[in-house]
Amino acid sequence: MKPVCHRPRVVIVGAGFGGLAAAKRLAGRDVDVILVDRRNHHVIQPLLYQVATAALSPADIAGPIRAIFSHSPNVRVLLDEAIGVRPFDAQVEMKSGTSLAYDWLILATGARHSYFGHEEWSDNAPGLKSIEDALAIRRKILLAFEKAETETDLRRRQGLLTFVVIGGGPTGVEMAGAIAELARRSVSRDFRNITPQCSRVILLEAGKRLLPTFPKELSEAAGRSLKGLGVEVRLGDPVRDVGDGYVDTQNELISARTVVWAAGVTASAAADWLGADRDQNGRVLVDPDLRLPGHRNIFVIGDTASAPGRTGRSLPAVAPVAKQQGRFVAEVILGRRSRNFGYRDFGHLATIGRSRAVIEMGGLRLSGLTAWLIWSFAHVWFLIGFRSRLAVTINWLWNYLTYQRSARLITGEIADTGPPPIRARPLERKCA
């Protein structure tokens, strides 16, 4: 009797940057891949803020996972959600009630928002992690302008036109810059009762500087660029409370209808599924070859993993780490690598508005327009494989030249955004 030929089965949970990179590397190889995600699309998260501020449309920054692998017969895509892992009988439990057997398992389920124990803030200060989040924030911002146009009470109008971003990391800096440009340049000329002076964009950071992972001079350059756009940057001002229409900080009770949370993330629940040791952000502590300690056939990668870097400190939760780790574990499974994972750091970048950015690459530190051009190129590069690459470039050019936002659509009922309750201290400035 002929022996039954068994191709190894690789189950990948999560089709974000890490899972997708692994699946792409395994496509067309002598393995059967099952790629599971609870969404049917892959999202380029670094560009979510552009959807939230109406510069790009969702389809510009997301693509159906199934379509990415339509020419890879050994990759099967499943729309389902993992809810547990049984390492000792090599099964992943799915929300649909089924379970998936694996020879190799790659967990790449990313991260979610963390409100540092204040989950009750999430209703009034949504975070930005998915297309749904970005659309909800876009709706909130655009509705605030519409309501302000008809609001006759000055204090209420100012609350509608006050936008608070909490968290001074790259997402917070990018979001604050983009809202400031939207408020002061793109929309103000389309309304008759709103003037740029009415809008207030406040960036709150509990620490002593913006962009703490960047060199100090670039943090300062980012702060100057934001101030140039009219953003009020508050450093060392931790948030004490967030509620309906207000943010309470150590220094001010701010009346604001739109608040965006960009202050913290925590890893997905993978550490709970595995009963694994984790770091303070909930990331699974993995071996230097990205395996779960004691389990040779389970890898954890990307934002879900805490992997040691060359200096011994754990690697940052950024897209290049996830992508390189995805490719690395695929190579290990294919038997092409046996050593530990080594991260190649190409630098950090963050953009501020439509023509400024800060970049650190090796010894190179740049800010201003040149940095912005490099940032734009790098982010269009992220879109390889999506038909929208050209569309995004055209949209950006259009926005750049005209200050217009092509995706200023409010969908759904408008009744749910009332004027904010008056919570602020007396107005200090006149807004007409």
In terms of CB distance, is 108 or 256 closer to ligand FAD?
108
Partnered with residue 78 across adjacent β-strands are 36
Sorted by sequence, the CB contacts under 8 Å of residue 163 that are 6+ apart come out as: 141, 144, 176, 179, 183, 199, 200, 201, 202, 256, 258, 259, 260
| Contacts to ligand FAD from residues 388-407, by CB under 6 A | none
> Per CB under 6 A, does 167 bind ligand FAD?
no
Residue 263 to residues 4, 238, 319: CA-CA distances in angstroms? 53, 11, 18
Using Cβ positions, the residue closest to ligand FAD within the complex turns out to be: 16
Count, in order, helices (H) and strands (E) of the chain.
Answer: 12, 25
Q: Does 58 bind ligand FAD (CB under 6 A)?
A: no
Going from the C-alpha of 29 to that of each of 8, 24, 72, 263, 309, the distances in angstroms are: 11, 10, 9, 41, 29
- Is residue 19 part of the contact set for ligand FAD (CB under 6 A)? yes
Q: At 229, phi and psi to the nearest 5? A: -90, 0
Position 36 contacts ligand FAD (CB under 6 A)? yes
Active site residues: 174
Q: Which stretch binds ligand FAD (CB under 6 A): 38-46, 118-126, 214-222, 274-282?
A: 38-46
**Residue selected from 35, 55, 128, 286 as contacting ligand FAD according to rule CB under 6 A:** 128
Q: Give me the least distance between CB of 283 and ligand FAD, in Å please.
A: 10
Is the CB of 82 or the CB of 239 nearer to ligand FAD?
Answer: 82
CB of 81 to ligand FAD, least distance (A): 4
CB of 266 to ligand FAD, least distance (A): 12
Touching ligand FAD, residues 249-278 (CB under 6 A): 268
Q: What is the DSSP letter of 5?
A: P
Distance CA 393, CA 149 (A): 32
Please state the closest distance from residue 129 (CB atom) to ligand FAD, in A.
5
Q: Which amino acid is at 18?
A: G
**Which listed residue (143, 242, 322, 357) binds ligand FAD by CB under 6 A?**
322
Using CB under 6 A as the binding rule, whether residue 15 contacts ligand FAD is answered as yes
Which pair of tokens denotes residue 67? 């379509």
Residue among 10, 11, 12, 18 that touches ligand FAD (CB under 6 A): 18
Nearer to ligand FAD, 180 or 265 (CB): 265
Structure tokens at 8: 């190894």
Pair of tokens at residue 210: 């913006």
Contact 178, 352 (CB under 8 A): no
* 3-state SS class at 292: strand
Separation of alpha carbons 61 and 389, rounded Å: 9
Q: How far is the CB of 95 from ligand FAD (least distance, A)?
A: 8
Comparing CB distances to ligand FAD, the nearer of 346 and 414 is 346
Using CB under 6 A as the binding rule, the residues of this chain from 99 to 118 that contact ligand FAD are 108-110
**Segment near ligand FAD (CB under 6 A), from 191-199, 245-253, 287-295, 316-324?**
316-324
Report the alpha-carbon distance of residue 341 to residue 332 in Å, rounded.
10
Summarize as ranges the residues that interact with ligand FAD (CB under 6 A): 13-19, 36-39, 45-46, 48-49, 81-82, 108-110, 128-129, 170-171, 268, 302-304, 317-320, 322
